[in-house]
Amino acid sequence: MPKIIANKNVELWTESFGSSDRECILLIAGAQAPSTFWPDLFCKELARLSYFVIRYDHRDIGYSTHFPAAKSDAVKHGGDVLAGPYDIFALVDDALAILDGYGVKKVHVVGHSMGGFIAELLTLRHADRVHSATIMSVGPLSMHERYKLPVASQKTGDVLLSNKPAGDFAKDLPGWLNSWQYLNGSLSFDKEMAVKYTESIYERHPGDYAIAYNHIAAVNSAPTIEAEEFKAISVPTLIVHGENDKLQLKAHAEQLTKLIPHARLNIITKAGHVFFNKDVWQDKILRLILSQVT
C-alpha cells in the first residue's frame, strides 16, 4: 500500500506489504535506484512469511521529491565530488522519518549499495532503532583509502559513464541493458526482468537522470568512520556480496566483516553488483535475509 511520508520539505513515496503489527523489514535501495529495485514477488513473499515490509523511493528518484541535478562534470572518476543539495545524513533522516511515519520503533534494516551505507549509519548512530542489519554490496563507509582497498577498474567506470540516459526510454534502453548486464556478474542475465525494472524507472520520473550525481555527492559527504566505531556495533549484522561485483569489490565486504564484531559474510557465487536473476532473489537473497531476521 503506497503512502507519502514527509521529512521537512521532502516528500518520500513509500510502499508497505503485510500487517503493521508484525516485525518490520525496511528495504533501502542504492543510488539512482527506485523502490522497485526490490522485486514485487520478493516483498510479497517476505510479507507472506509474517513480516511488515517497507520499500521507498529515495529523494531524487521515482515519486519522491526531486532536487536540481548536480552537473556531471562535478564528478571526477576516483576523485572528489562537489557539494550536492544534501548530505548522507539527510538520507539517514529520510529512513528514520519513514519509520516514524509508520510508527515503527525498531526495524530489521536491509540496504543495498548506497542503501548499505545508510544501513551502516543507522546501525552506528541509531542502534536503538535497529533489530538487525543486512548490508549488501558495499564495504566500510568512507574507509577504502585507509585500508588501501582495491577500487573499481577504469573499465567499470567507462561502462557506467557511457550510459547517458536523456529521458527517452526507447533510445536509452540499450545503454541501461549494457550497464545492467555488466553489473550482473556472470550469472544468467534475465533481460525481461531488467527491461521491466528500467521501465519502472521511467514510469516514475522520466526526467534528468544526472540526479545520480546528487546521490554520489551525498555518499562522498560522509565523514570517516573510525574502526572503533564499527567495532562498537552490537546488533546482528549480515554482509552479502556478489562474487563478481565489479563496482564494490569483494575485498570491501571482507574488510567490513573484519571490522564488525560477529558479522557474518555470505558471498553469492557468480553474482555481481545487481541481481537480474529471479533464482538469486528467491533462493539466495530471500533465504539469507530470513536467516538474519528470524
What confidence tens digit (pLDDT) does each residue in 96-146 have?
A: 999 999 999 999 999 999 999 999 999 999 999 999 999 999 999 876 666
Q: Check which CATH number belongs to the domain holding 215 and give it.
A: 3.40.50.1820
Domain count for the chain = 1
What are the pLDDT digits (tens) for 37-87? 999 999 999 999 999 999 999 999 999 999 987 655 444 444 444 568 999
| pLDDT cut 90: percent of the chain above it | 77
Helices 212-220, 114-125: inter-axial angle, 10-degree rounding: 40
The confidence score (pLDDT) of residue 115 equals: 98
DSSP of the chain: -EEEEEETTEEEEEEEES-TTSPEEEEE--TT--GGGS-HHHHHHHHHTT-EEEEEPPTTSTTS---PPPPGGGB-TTS-B---SS-HHHHHHHHHHHHHHTT-SSEEEEEETHHHHHHHHHHHH-GGGEEEEEEES--STT-TTTTT-----HHHHHHHHT----S-HHHHHHHHHHHHHHHTBTSPP-HHHHHHHHHHHHHH--S-GGGHHHHHHHHHTPPPPPHHHHHT--S-EEEEEETT-SSS-HHHHHHHHHHSTT-EEEEETTB-SS---HHIIIIIIHHHHHHHH-
The confidence score (pLDDT) of residue 73 equals: 47
Q: Which domain holds residue 92?
A: 2-293
With the C-alpha atoms ordered 47, 49, 50, 55, is the resulting torsion angle positive or negative? negative
What are the pLDDT digits (tens) for 242-280? 999 999 999 999 999 999 999 999 999 999 999 999 999
